[in-house]
Structure 1
Amino acid sequence: MRSLLGRNFDPAMFEGPEIRAHVLEGMISQRLLTQLAVRSNLTVTDDQLREIIASIPSFQANGRFSPEIYQETLRREGYAPPTFEASLRRDLMLQQLSSAVTDSGIVSQAAARQAAQLQAERREVSEYLVPAAQFHSQVKVTPEQVGAFYESNRGRFRVPEQARVEYLVLNSDALQAREKPSADDVKAWFDSHLDQFQVKEQRQASHILIAVKQGATAAERAKATEKAEQILARLRKSPAGFADLAKKESDDPGSAPKGGDVGYFSRGMMVKAFDDAVFRLKLNETSGLVESDFGHHIIRLTGIKPGKTRSLEEAQPDIELELKKQRAGKKFAESAEAFSNLVYEQTDSLKPAAEKFGLAIQKSDWITRESAQAPALQNAKLLAAIFGDDAVKNRRNTEAIETSPGNIVSAHVVEHKPAAIRSLEEVRGDIVKELTRNEALALARKQALALIEKLRKGGDAAVRFGVARTISREDPKGVKPQGLAAAFRADRSKLPSYEGVEQPDGYMILRVSRVVDPTLDEAKHKNIQVELARAEGSREFQAFVASLRASEDVQIYKDALLKK
């Protein structure tokens, strides 16, 4: 977990036994699935891994993979590239394993059709509310009821421990904003890092993919090859039809709608076979069959952007930003240590640190151990320190705590309130209101149920329903979930049909006067079948993990789990 969260890791996040147990269960499942994936010889090739990494937006600049950004992002998050790549490779293996199970979910056409009918069925519904407010005057709350409610619900009136603090934030971004690299500094950096300003040649290509699944039989491979050769032959006769053929025949869902276009990329960003073929082609030339782990490709080179070196003027903004980051990072590291020492040594006030580092002392509103409005204070470790004995009883500064990358905070408690239960007199009015509301709701419910019974028997209940609305599960027209469930629970065999549902302000009677069966759209039916199959596959995967767990001897040392 520390490696996953990097510098954001906070041990306080996992102090609760329930959270620890939940995390442990996830780790056990992941370990069992990883072992099974290895035994099953599931692999992720280097080319596949490279392609996935290159497609991650946070590793890109202007839509293209940047090795420099990749390295910097990992460094900032506390990863080494081998560790990140091993973790990603494992995750991709587990995706293969889970897909093998979840993709096997099957739902019959009859079940899907029934679900589609239920989802699209429409009902004409009108509503009548028996308001609780009309019964308020009938409710008399006694002092004995108030006292009994207070005693049985004392926990509801507990006010948590609170504090108000002063705090300082040492921020690397603020240090960075103060940096002003000179023109000479920028020129020196440019001259010593020319290789970083080389823009590689980029090529644009379109392709038609005839996919071959992993583990395909010889017959399936031969069939795919034959299809690819037929498409290639058609292109030889009519090269201008490449885009149309890609739209009709390509198995790549990402590029097929765009006529096979995969955009511009530099060498090394695609799988090796594809990469090599593209960089051998001449402009507007079409390749023969190119085989990769995905199947057969037919590739056309459609554009070339020659490599070049960016000028100093072009690179200047990036260089200035890099120099600012480097200098601010160095100053932050130096300042962080001095800041930490000073708030510790001058522990009775934040003023010395504020003056030395030119920081403003900020003040909070009331905060608790669980929450604070100020973003700088929203850190479990810092809140624990604020409510520690040293800060509360001795009024000492908290230690300087890194609450997020580039932010260090120290706080000083200026006012403290211990946890307490509000007195009966403080909450008497609230209790009277709640008891009155509850009793009024009960009376509204009683009257509404009597009206529903009369309406079902065909009697005249003198009820004026509102304007009818035709609703469906897909389009409830503003009817709330509980009301929607009641409307579709109503008996459709005898109309009008009546149901009731409790609301915050009373009891709602719903009248269903008409039911309209849908004319099923085949595309919608197919979509619902896919959704149901996906849900069924997910259930099957959970059952698969449970059976895998049951087949292994897993021991949990509960005493160790409870230790802090």
Structure 2
Amino acid sequence: MLQAFRTHKRWMMFIAMIFIIPSFVVTGIYSYNRMSDSENDLATVGDTSITMMDFDNAKRQYLDNFRRQMGQSFKPNMLDTAEARASILAALISDRAISLEIASEYMNVGEADAINLVKQAPAFQRDGKFSTEAYQQFLNSMGKSDEQFVLELRRDLTRQMLLSAVSQTTQASNTVAQRIHDLLTEERTIRTFEIKPTAFLKSVSVTDAEAQSYYDQNKSLFAVPESVDIEYVVLSPESYKNIKASEDDIKTFYEQNLQRFSTPEERRASHILIAVNNEKTDADAKKEADEIYKQLQADPSKFAQLAKSKSADPGSARQGGDLGFFQKGMMVPEFDNAVFSGKKGDLIAPVKTQFGYHIIKIVDVKPAQAKPLKEVRAEIEALYQQQAAIRAFAEDAENFSNMVYEQSESLQPVAERFGLKIQTVKNVTRDFEDQLINPNVIEALYGFDVLEDKRNSNAIEVASNTLLSARVTAHHKQTVKTFDEVKGDIVATLKNQKATEAARAQGSADIAKLLDKKSASGKFGDKTVISRERPGAYAYEVVTAALRPDANKLPTYTGVQTQDGSYFVIEVQSSKKIEASPEQLAMRKAELAQLYSNPEQAAFISGLETKFGTQILKDEYKPGYQPTDEDIAP
């Protein structure tokens, strides 16, 4: 697998680019804590732990992505379910297993390759050229620095390459590919005529008794649900946008967060791996590694030559043992410690890991480097404002909560105190929900104090660092529209139903006549050739109906009613199979392989989880968890 990864490295990087850059869903898959005995651990993968902090960060990232994608349809509580909780942890476990496999295989994407991909990403192109402004806007929207994004991109590219290497093994048979080709390309020569329901509207009628009966049997359709008109205020860090950083604030922030504005140290190393396996014992591998190390001490220039002929890592061996640049923590611990303990040019004596013995050469060192203050001033000002706003919110949250409770007859005092805008919404039903008016707010609105006494609701946390208080200004009880109010709509509905039924009856009668070689009511249009792949102007239902009759029993007549109520009478004249060219068959096989690759990758990841060993430590995060009476007892 590692060999396939390295052989197709550049091609696979472009494939990975399709998935990563457009979606901008970037996760750091190496950032985990190897040793943790905390009670907050949710799961273990190998000798690593997944903590509650890992879970909260992942959940927050999912919510941020959903918020950007769904806009007004986003609901802050959409992941507050047992199923979502189990799914998020399952994804973290999968990512951790992939991380461990990447580390064990010494896979790494170089910084230069990642930067090159960023510069080629369509999202950052303006007039055919890379736009620094577009890229910086993206970084600002994500709250990331250039170095942080490139590092995360390198990590995600490596992950995608590993999974792409798995999908390359997926195969589809010629038989299945041929069958799919036949189904999609079989051509039928047809003629049709359409019977529209509108042609029958004048001839159908609806009596008052029919309309009244429909109303009596479907009163729930005409119910106007209970609703309230409300006003509300929101306190969040957004309420403190006017906070500005002084020059001293900027300098202090820069000095205290210097690491954030620094590029971490990177080292480039080469290695020769002498593996311990069924053919070679630990003692034999150690002896061979010591001998090679002595040869290199005598003549370091032979390192690349010996790596090509002796190393058990075929990918790096072809490159003379070169592993490229990597940061601390991206390799297995023993290897990592050896590389980052030496200095440029050092030849390190054999280091034992789970894979065998490594002779390591430190080729180059890129020291950690901090950006000057003037380059990061804008970023610091934004970060300072963000953090200061959160601090100000935290300081005022309790006062806000107390004030809406103590002065519960109006929201005006709290709005004036904190400079908030009172917003209004009408017709808020018990099922109403948007980004802020979530189920917790609805529950409060329909509670006795708010609904009957017209008091402010308590301060409700509707999102992270976001408090809302609402009050009811008007209460509209559930009603049912009278028959007279909806009679016109009912009559129109029933007439459409009758017209649709008449169109179907006419079509069925016409088909019977045509099969009996008699004249039908409609006139066929010009003949046309259709297939599932090339339906032309016809609806899906028409194409499916035309391809349903036995090809050996043509010509024949059939019909189908489409979703809009029109009935199509179809004359199926002939059928023709299209021979697949070698290129078309290869394309079908590739499409099927892509379809099959998802379960293949899922099986591969499941195998990694088994390989490293996984355990979910808290029952409530397991799939299918059902709370017991003890769990929900007060």
Would the TM-score normalized by the shorter structure come out above 0.5?
yes
* Residue 204 of structure 1: how far off its partner (Å): 7.7
1:480 aligns with 539
1:346 aligns with 2:407: yes
* Residue 300 of structure 1: how far off its partner (Å): 12
Q: Out of 134, 149, 154, which is 2:199 matched to? A: 134
- Structure 1 residues 306 and 561: alpha-carbon distance in aligned structure 2, compared to 1, 3 A threshold: closer
1:326 aligns with 2:387: yes
1:506 aligns with 2:569: no
8 A contact 1:129–1:508 mirrored in 2: yes
* Residue 418 of structure 1: how far off its partner (Å): 1.5
1:121 aligns with 2:186: yes
1:185 aligns with 2:244: no
User: How far apart in 1 are the matches of 2:593 and 2:453?
Assistant: 63
1:138-153 matched pairs, under 5 angstroms: 138-153=203-218
- Structure 1 residues 500 and 308: alpha-carbon distance in aligned structure 2, compared to 1, 3 A threshold: same
User: How far apart in 1 are the matches of 2:388 and 2:625?
Assistant: 50
* Residue 363 of structure 1: how far off its partner (Å): 1.4
8 A contact 1:123–1:516 mirrored in 2: no
- How big is each residue's C-alpha offset from its partner over 1:482-519, in whole Å with a ceiling of 9 and x where there is no partner? 33322322332233443322221421223434434341
Deviates most, 125-134 or 295-304: 295-304
User: How far apart in 1 are the matches of 2:569 and 2:210?
Assistant: 30
1:394 aligns with 453
1:524 aligns with 587
8 A contact 1:119–1:472 mirrored in 2: yes
User: How far apart in 2 are the matches of 1:290 and 1:525?
Assistant: 49
User: How far apart in 2 are the matches of 1:469 and 1:106?
Assistant: 37
Question: What is the one-letter code of the residue matched to 1:153?
Answer: N
* Residue 468 of structure 1: how far off its partner (Å): 4.8
- How big is each residue's C-alpha offset from its partner over 1:449-488, in whole Å with a ceiling of 9 and x where there is no partner? 1122233344443633445554433443453333332232
1:154 aligns with 2:219: yes
Q: Out of 59, 62, 66, which is 2:146 matched to? A: 62
Question: What is the one-letter code of the residue matched to 2:585?
Answer: E
Q: Out of 478, 485, 490, which is 1:419 matched to? A: 478
Deviates most, 508-517 or 322-331: 508-517
* Residue 320 of structure 1: how far off its partner (Å): 2.0
8 A contact 1:167–1:411 mirrored in 2: yes
User: How far apart in 1 are the matches of 2:504 and 2:631?
Assistant: 48
8 A contact 1:59–1:66 mirrored in 2: no
1:368 aligns with 2:429: yes
- How big is each residue's C-alpha offset from its partner over 1:23-81, in whole Å with a ceiling of 9 and x where there is no partner? 79x79x98xxx9xx9xxxx99749749999999x97964264699x9xxxxxxxxxxxx
8 A contact 1:168–1:411 mirrored in 2: yes
* Residue 205 of structure 1: how far off its partner (Å): 9.3
1:268-347 matched pairs, under 5 angstroms: 268-270=329-331, 306-347=367-408
User: How far apart in 2 are the matches of 1:50 and 1:325?
Assistant: 40
- Structure 1 residues 43 and 138: alpha-carbon distance in aligned structure 2, compared to 1, 3 A threshold: closer
How many equivalent residue pairs? 475
1:170 aligns with 235
- How big is each residue's C-alpha offset from its partner over 1:191-223, in whole Å with a ceiling of 9 and x where there is no partner? 34444443234468999x9xx9xx99869xxxx
Q: Out of 103, 106, 110, which is 2:175 matched to? A: 110
* Residue 324 of structure 1: how far off its partner (Å): 1.7
2:550 aligns with 491
* Residue 112 of structure 1: how far off its partner (Å): 4.2
1:78 aligns with none
User: How far apart in 2 are the matches of 1:296 and 1:110?
Assistant: 48
- Structure 1 residues 484 and 293: alpha-carbon distance in aligned structure 2, compared to 1, 3 A threshold: farther
8 A contact 1:54–1:269 mirrored in 2: no
Question: What is the one-letter code of the residue matched to 1:456?
Answer: L
- Structure 1 residues 319 and 532: alpha-carbon distance in aligned structure 2, compared to 1, 3 A threshold: closer
- How big is each residue's C-alpha offset from its partner over 1:70-100, in whole Å with a ceiling of 9 and x where there is no partner? xxxxxxxxxxxxxxxxxxxxxx9xx99xxx9
Deviates most, 515-524 or 383-392: 515-524
- Structure 1 residues 108 and 11: alpha-carbon distance in aligned structure 2, compared to 1, 3 A threshold: same
TM-score by length of 1: 0.65
8 A contact 1:386–1:398 mirrored in 2: yes
1:550 aligns with none
Question: What is the one-letter code of the residue matched to 2:199?
Answer: Q
* Residue 169 of structure 1: how far off its partner (Å): 1.4
- How big is each residue's C-alpha offset from its partner over 1:374-394, in whole Å with a ceiling of 9 and x where there is no partner? x432x1211221222222211
User: How far apart in 2 are the matches of 1:469 and 1:44?
Assistant: 55
User: How far apart in 2 are the matches of 1:561 and 1:121?
Assistant: 59
Question: What is the one-letter code of the residue matched to 1:524?
Answer: M
Give the match's secondary structure for 1:490: coil
Identity level (%): 30
2:119 aligns with none
Question: What is the one-letter code of the residue matched to 1:362?
Answer: Q
Give the match's secondary structure for 2:469: strand
Give the match's secondary structure for 1:366: strand
User: How far apart in 1 are the matches of 2:217 and 2:374?
Assistant: 74
Q: Out of 358, 365, 375, which is 2:419 matched to? A: 358
- Structure 1 residues 184 and 335: alpha-carbon distance in aligned structure 2, compared to 1, 3 A threshold: same
- Structure 1 residues 478 and 170: alpha-carbon distance in aligned structure 2, compared to 1, 3 A threshold: farther
User: How far apart in 2 are the matches of 1:134 and 1:413?
Assistant: 50
1:444-483 matched pairs, under 5 angstroms: 444-461=503-520, 463-483=522-542
Give the match's secondary structure for 1:493: helix
* Residue 395 of structure 1: how far off its partner (Å): 0.9
User: How far apart in 2 are the matches of 1:425 and 1:66?
Assistant: 66
- How big is each residue's C-alpha offset from its partner over 1:313-333, in whole Å with a ceiling of 9 and x where there is no partner? 123223222322222111101
* Residue 539 of structure 1: how far off its partner (Å): 12
1:260-275 matched pairs, under 5 angstroms: 265-270=326-331
8 A contact 1:498–1:510 mirrored in 2: yes
- Structure 1 residues 558 and 308: alpha-carbon distance in aligned structure 2, compared to 1, 3 A threshold: closer
* Residue 141 of structure 1: how far off its partner (Å): 0.8
* Residue 397 of structure 1: how far off its partner (Å): 1.1
User: How far apart in 2 are the matches of 1:128 and 1:516?
Assistant: 25
- Structure 1 residues 11 and 524: alpha-carbon distance in aligned structure 2, compared to 1, 3 A threshold: closer
User: How far apart in 2 are the matches of 1:455 and 1:265?
Assistant: 76
8 A contact 2:108–2:324 mirrored in 1: no
Question: What is the one-letter code of the residue matched to 1:507?
Answer: Y
What are structure 2's unaligned runs of at least 5 residues? 1-41, 43-50, 64-74, 111-138, 153-158, 281-301, 309-313, 605-623
- Structure 1 residues 459 and 537: alpha-carbon distance in aligned structure 2, compared to 1, 3 A threshold: farther
Question: What is the one-letter code of the residue matched to 1:525?
Answer: R
Give the match's secondary structure for 2:470: strand
User: How far apart in 1 are the matches of 2:519 and 2:452?
Assistant: 71
8 A contact 1:106–1:536 mirrored in 2: no
Question: What is the one-letter code of the residue matched to 1:418?
Answer: K
User: How far apart in 1 are the matches of 2:359 and 2:534?
Assistant: 46
Deviates most, 302-311 or 135-144: 302-311
2:262 aligns with 198
What are structure 1's unaligned runs of at least 5 residues? 70-91, 220-232, 240-248, 542-553
1:544 aligns with none
User: How far apart in 2 are the matches of 1:296 and 1:493?
Assistant: 69
